[in-house]
Amino acid sequence: MIPQSIVHTGTHKVHYQPHQQWDFVADADELPVDLSLVLPHYRARNQPTGHRMGMLVHSRGEIKSTICRQSSRTPFHLCVHSPTAAPVTLYLPSDFCGTILFSSSQPKISLSAGFRNNVVPRVHFARISGPREKIDRFNDDGSDQVEIHATGNITLRMWDVVDGAPESAARETWRTMCRRATSSKSLRADHRARQGIDWDFLLDD
């Protein structure tokens, strides 16, 4: 069995580790990371009810990590460390609900169409500006949490919990276009309605 500390590629199931700080650790040093981490769809024996599956990913190289979750919606805490300017790409579940924390004051963030369409409405973005105790306060409500310590480009994409696969870029882009078209159509209709109103009654005595 390969020690977790040198795992840096492939698909791995995350298991509850009762006597460890993290349930999964990948310390790849200089190696690039390309990991798919599968969350359990059941609560392990003796696992506390409010426990989040904790995952730590560290590398000086490029990091690409996908969090795969089924319909049971197991809560998780993902901590990503990238001490260099190497890019970080994270695929988060489409039912993600919680906080995403950044250590950089001005992180270079890119959001995919799927992430914008499905995840952003349930995300609270915040900056890490204090000690560990202040970070932990975001864990009190039982929601998900992602903590990113990186200075390079950060890309957030969506992992579709229904399809069990990364987002379809073409489909999500089409949804974005349809949403914008609908919004523009509504604005034009509202503008025409306003133009049709006789505002002269405001001048009557």
Claim to verify: residue 143 and residue 79 sit in the same structural domain: yes
pTM comes to: 0.80
Q: Model confidence over 157-168: pLDDT tens digits?
A: 999 999 999 998
Q: For residue 186, what are the contacts with CB-CB under 8 A and spacing of at least 6?
A: none
Distances, alpha carbon 102 to alpha carbons 3, 99, 166, 186, 202, in Å: 28, 10, 23, 36, 52
Q: Model confidence over 111-145: pLDDT tens digits?
A: 999 999 999 999 999 998 765 544 554 555 679 99
Claim to verify: residue 173 and residue 96 sit in the same structural domain: no
Judge whether 145 lies within some domain. Answer: yes
Place of tokens 């109103």: 197
Claim to verify: residue 83 and residue 182 sit in the same structural domain: no
d(CA 159, CA 153): 19
Domain range for 107 is 4-166
Domain total in the chain: 2
Claim to verify: residue 150 and residue 173 sit in the same structural domain: no
d(CA 179, CA 173): 10
Closest CA to 54 of 41, 43, 39: 39
